[in-house]
Structures are given as C-alpha cells and as structure tokens.
Amino acid sequence: MSAVQDGLRRRRRRDRGLRQTRTRRRTVNEREKALLDEVDTRLFIGGEWVDSSSGKTFQVRDPATNEVVAHVADATEEDGIAALDAAVAVQDEWANTPPRVRSDILRRAFELVRERADDVALLMTIEMGKPLAEAKGEVTYGNEFNRWFSEEAVRIAGRYGSNPEGTGRIIVSQRPVGPSFFITPWNFPFAMATRKIAPALAAGCTVVIKPPQLTPLTTLFFAKLLVEAGLPKGVVNVVTSASSSRVSAPIIADPRLRKLSFTGSTEVGRKLIAQAAEGVLRVSMELGGNAPFVVFEDADLDKAVDGAMLAKFRNIGQACTAANRFIVHESVAEEFAQRITERVTKMKIGRGTEEGVEIGPLIDSDAVDKAVELVADATERGATVVAGGERLDGPGTFYQPTVVTGVQPGSAILREEIFGPVLAIATFATEDDAVRLANDTEYGLVSYVYTEDLQRGHRMIERLETGMMGLNAGVVSNAAAPFGGVKQSGVGREGGFEGIHEYLSTKYTFLPNA
C-alpha cells in the first residue's frame, strides 16, 4: 500500500470517527430534549397540572452552558394557598388510609424511580450540573428514602400498660401531624425531595412542596412518578416559583398548616423559624455546615486522602456535608497536601454529561465569585494556593478544583461555608488544639476524623460538637441513619427510625380501671 493510499485510509477512518462522534452527540442531545419534553413544567395542585394563575413562567438554565432548558410556571400567592387547600382537603382521608396501602405506594414509587434512574440522573445533571456518575449515585441514595419509609409506614407503634398506681391504663398512640410544607434546596434536587416527602407520606401527612427556582425539574418529574405509583390526588402538591418568600409566607401563616421543613442556609432558616413560631408549627431545619476534617498523626493517609476527595469534591463541593476545614496534624500536613494536590490536578472539568468528568460547573456566577473571594482572602492572610485557584472562562460557571495550604486563623474560608471545590488546610499540634479548632464555629452538622487509635476515635465522638460524624469515612449519609445537626446547623432529623417521628404527634389516653 502506498503512502498516499495509507493517508487516504487514515483520513477516511478519521472522518468516520468524527461522524460517529457527531452522531453520538446528536443522540445525547435528542435524548435530553425528549426527557425535558416529558417533564410537565406547570404547577401540580390537587392531582392536576395547571398553569400559574398569573400565566407567568421563569427560566431554568443549564449551568454548564448557560442555555435555557425550560420555562417553569411561576406560582402566585393564590396558587400556594390553592395547593394548601388541596392538601387540607384530603388530609383526613390520607391519614386514615391503611398503613399497608401507604407503604405499597411508596414501594411502587421506589420501583418506578429505579426503572427511570438514568433519566432522573440526567435531568439533575442538566439543571444542576453535577457529573452524571454522581447524579446516578444521588438517585440511588434518594430512592432509598422511598424504600426505607415504605417499610416504616407499617411499623408506627405506641404503647399500652398500667400506670404506677395501678388505677388504670396508659395508652400512647401516634397520629399524623397534618398538612406539611417543604422548601428544598438546589444542590440535591432528588434526594432532598424524597428525604422529606417519603416520611411524610408514610406517616399519613399530606404535602405541599416548593422546589428550588434553580433546579425544579427533578421534583416535578418525581411528582409524575408518584402519580404513576398510585398516589391519590391532593396528597402531594408542587408549587414552583421564582420567589420563595412570595409563595411560602402565606402558606406558613395559614393556621391549617401544621409542619414546616426546610433545607438551606442558616440565615433563611432563622427567618422561617420566626414565621413558624406564629402558628407554633412543628419544624425540621437542616441548615448550614462548616464541617471539620481532622487528620491525626497516626491516620492512614491513603484512607484520609480518599476520604478527603469524597468529603470535599462530591457534588463539586456544593453540599452542606462537604468538608470545609481540613485540620491536619503538623507532622503529616505536608505529605497530606502533596497527595491531595496530585489527585486534584488530575481531575477532569467539564459538562457533567461528558465521560470522565469529575468537576462540573458551580450552580451560578455568584457561587464562583464566592470561591474567588474566599481564596483571595486566605492568600492575603498568608495561605498558599498549590493547585487551581482560578475561575474558568465561559460558557458555564466553572471554577478549578483548588488546594490551599497554610490557612491562617481569622481567614474567612475557615468561618464561612465554601460551597465550592476548594480544599483549605490548616495545621494543629495537639489533640486539644484539634478539638478547639473543629468546634470553633456556630455550626455543628457533621465532622470527619481520621485516626487509627480507637480510643481517640471514641473521644472525638464525645468531644466534637456535631450531629453526625464520619470516623475514617468521608461520606456519612444513609437513609437508615438520622441526618441532622446541632447548634445553628438545624433542628430535627431526617432518615432512620427517627425520621418518621418528625411527622407524628404523640397522644396519651388514660383509661381508669372499671
């Protein structure tokens, strides 16, 4: 074969490869379009899909491209109250629905989500930006709440026994709290919806949910699957809005509402708690975090580095459970930083649907600005950027995965929730120093500790002021475990045996002896 023929053959092979690539991209785009077309972007009230009473919509954008992917109904105050009306109207009927029926509906929802897992994951990646592999992980995790609470629905129990005086019987029973209102965040669009909806339905409570403006599509799609699972009309209602306060305030002020659950910032949580106080509502608040990641001198650094990558860069660092402050013993800090930097510099950045991408876009330009400001403040105070540290040119809102060492006391990056792919390392000398640094925050959601000393691990369980802890583990969330924090990280628990009790009220009855 001549050189010319060989060159022509290589060109034909290259051109065929390019055509295949274009076809593959076109197929992905067609799949995305078909999926987006399947999502009903109207309000879901009383079992019906309806337009906003104002006729207005708001845009949802893909943060990786800044392209508009959907126009979603923008609910008014009247729409919010209509949703509550629908929930109130069927509350008694749903509360008296046999637990096995409620259980079976949740189980069917679990099966339907599992069948459509790839679609739910892709929808999240489109509207939120997380890598597709992580989105699939969220579907698996979030769907476990459907399965877990389908099992808990038939295990709601009370107690019966004699009083100490022997004059009668004590009967303790559990009843549904009543109509519940949920406000969910943009960073885990599926899991945050199921973590609230599933226990409420299991307990016999009806629901109004306001998904986030930035990522409402996943919740709307889940509502569709709940209908397919056989959920009666009015039991779950979805109101989307560009203004959370406009829709939320009248619902919270309505005396028929009995429960409020919110996941988001502590600042907003405080305001909602104040509003809820007027009606003495039951509240569950999963608020901000400032998680310490403590590495002792005896830690297995291989485990610690693997855990750090998960705890920091999962969901592009946009998680309330993300490790925020890496507090590393001075004897291993340099080696830890080197190993982390090697891993971070190899991370692939891009749109979450692209193969091998580990870092997608931040949710919006404000999030990028926040990362830039925190890193700049740290370096001005003496820290060193050893990897990343730059925003990337658009389209999309990307920021490089970043490692900052030598972070000094007083740096904003140690006080404020980063919510981005920035790993900040400070050092300590003694165990008491580590505890003091870890607890030096108004937040108390989760902590991570790496040590091979079992006794020290037990001391950390007792001494660290957080509602959750990962001991030699970089991920703690599980549907079977109680998720929640202390201090200004919130009140109440989601998941576990404890989760369903957030939606139950305890009633005591005394029955005297005949």
Catalytically active residues are: 286
Longest dimension (CA), the chain: 109
* Measured CA angle at 285 (ends 280, 286), to 5 deg: 175
Contacts of 125 (CB under 8 A, 6+ apart): 131, 132, 135, 352, 353, 360
For residues 421 and 318, give the distance between their C-alpha atoms in angstroms, rounded to a whole number: 8
Contacts of 230 (CB under 8 A, 6+ apart): 104, 105, 108
Q: Are 129 and 360 in contact (CB under 8 A)?
A: yes
* 360, amino acid identity: G
DSSP 167-205: SEEEEEEEEE---EEEE--SSSTTHHHHHHHHHHHHHT-
Q: Are 204 and 258 in contact (CB under 8 A)?
A: no
Q: Are 308 and 326 in contact (CB under 8 A)?
A: yes
**End-to-end CA, the chain:** 107
Of all residues in the chain, what percent are helix, strand and coil, respectively (each to 5)?
A: 45, 20, 35
Q: Are 476 and 498 in contact (CB under 8 A)?
A: no
For residues 467 and 338, give the distance between their C-alpha atoms in angstroms, rounded to a whole number: 31
For residues 217 and 37, give the distance between their C-alpha atoms in angstroms, rounded to a whole number: 11
Question: Which residue from 230, 223, 201 is spatially nearest to 95, judged by alpha carbons?
Answer: 201
Q: Are 198 and 148 in contact (CB under 8 A)?
A: yes
* 63, amino acid identity: P
For residues 225 and 123, give the distance between their C-alpha atoms in angstroms, rounded to a whole number: 14
Query: With the CA atoms of 199, 200, 201 and 204 taken in that order, what torsion angle do they form, in degrees rounded to the nearest 10?
Result: 120
